């Protein structure tokens, strides 16, 4: 993780706290540092406040796969597949479907 990059993202979030892209960036920085708990909080905020932010579904699903029970990952991938279909984003839909298929 780049602490400098995370510091910049968090500073921008103070100015734009509702920006899903910045929250996503912070979550990815936390994932890369191994802080899944903090990353999940950011992803869950995006899910609750900007459920149409498609990139989050794959990353949150991957994070949830690392937990003992894959049911949450399956639910997130399934939601993302539905959203990708509604947004006509076949590439992301396929990516999410492949991730889901790997769990079975």
Dihedral, CA of residue 51, residue 38, residue 67 and residue 70, to nearest 10: 0
Q: How confident is the model at residue 68 (pLDDT cuts 50, 70, 90)?
A: confident
Same domain, 26 and 59: no
Residue 8 has pLDDT above 70, yes or no: yes
Percent of the chain with pLDDT over 70: 98
Per-residue pLDDT at 96 exceeds 80: yes
1 pLDDT band, cuts 50/70/90, is: low
DSSP H or E segment with residue 79:
helix 71-86
Q: What is the pLDDT confidence band of residue 49, given thresholds at 50, 70 and 90?
A: very high
Task: Give the domain extent around 80.
Answer: 54-104
Distance CA 38, CA 52 (A): 21
CB distance 65 to 103 below 8 Å: yes
Say whether pLDDT at 42 is over 60: yes
Number of domains in the chain: 2
Specify the pLDDT at position 69.
85
Does residue 38 surpass a pLDDT of 60?
yes
48/59 same-domain check:
no
Measured CA to CA, the distance from residue 57 to residue 43 in angstroms comes to: 8
Tokens for 28, please give them: 């990815």
Task: Check: CB of residue 43 under 8 Å from CB of residue 56.
Answer: yes
Residues 48, 67: one domain?
no
Cα separation, 78 vs 35, in Å, equals 24
> Is the model's pLDDT at 100 over the cut of 60?
yes
């Amino acid at each position: 993780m780049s602490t400098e990059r995370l510091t910049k993202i968090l500073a921008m979030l103070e100015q734009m706290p509702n920006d899903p892209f910045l929250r996503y960036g912070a979550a990815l920085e936390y994932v890369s540092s191994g802080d899944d708990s903090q990353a999940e909080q950011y992803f869950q905020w995006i899910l609750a406040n900007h459920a149409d932010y498609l990139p989050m579904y794959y990353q949150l699903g991957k994070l949830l796969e690392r937990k003992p029970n894959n049911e949450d990952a399956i639910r997130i991938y399934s939601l993302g597949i539905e959203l990708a279909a509604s947004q006509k984003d076949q590439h992301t839909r396929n990516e999410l479907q492949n991730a889901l298929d790997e769990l079975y």
